[in-house]
């Protein structure tokens, strides 16, 4: 019986060796991205998870309301035209909202406590503040639909462009 087991082990080892010889090469595509700002102008999230991971608006069971979020950004611009002039502008590139099936929840976006507008550059940081790096909040707040919030799994994208005049 011992000899039979030893023989079976040999056959098993041979089978593994044969399968290793038939292995197929594997390739993997890994997407990598980088955002390297200049030292003269940047608007970057303090926590990079803000732009690399979905940001969840939380449902408050007590108030039956959807809560907004606030995330800090660091901003600097040496491109100034004089004291008091705007140094950083922001523009919403798309309508902002979240959808679930046929339901929509509009969103209001503010940067440095200034409401952003679709397709219109808005002054969000003046030259005096932008000369040295500042920390400014970006708030994304849901706008309650007239008929109230409808059940669903909502998703959307907020696209903001920052620029120096």
Smallest Cα–Cα separation from 102: which of 142, 145, 160? 145
Smallest Cα–Cα separation from 73: which of 37, 107, 98? 37
Most confident range, picked from 7-11, 19-23, 121-125: 121-125
The CATH code belonging to domain 41-163 is: 2.60.40.2040
pLDDT tens, 51-60? 989 999 999 9
Phi, psi of 33 (to 5 degrees): -135, 160
First-to-last CA distance in the chain?
87
pLDDT for residue 80 is more than 70: no
Cα 13 to Cα 32: distance, rounded to the nearest angstrom: 41
- In this prediction, residue 20 carries a pLDDT of 56
- In this prediction, residue 26 carries a pLDDT of 87
């Amino acid at each position: 019986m011992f000899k039979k087991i030893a023989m079976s082990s040999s056959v098993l080892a041979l089978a593994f060796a044969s399968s290793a010889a038939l292995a197929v090469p594997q390739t993997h595509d890994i997407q990598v991205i980088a955002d390297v700002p200049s030292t003269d102008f940047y608007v970057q999230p303090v926590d990079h998870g803000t732009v690399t991971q979905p940001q969840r608006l939380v449902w408050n069971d007590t108030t039956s309301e959807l809560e907004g979020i606030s995330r800090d950004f660091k901003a600097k611009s040496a491109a100034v035209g004089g004291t008091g002039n705007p140094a950083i502008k922001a523009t919403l590139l798309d309508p902002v909202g979240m959808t679930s099936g046929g339901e929509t929840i509009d969103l209001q976006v503010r940067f440095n406590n200034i409401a952003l507008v679709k397709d219109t550059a808005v002054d969000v940081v003046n030259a005096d503040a932008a000369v040295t790096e500042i920390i400014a909040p970006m708030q994304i707040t849901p706008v309650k639909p007239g008929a109230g919030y409808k059940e669903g799994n909502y998703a959307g994208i907020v696209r903001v462009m920052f620029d120096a005049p």
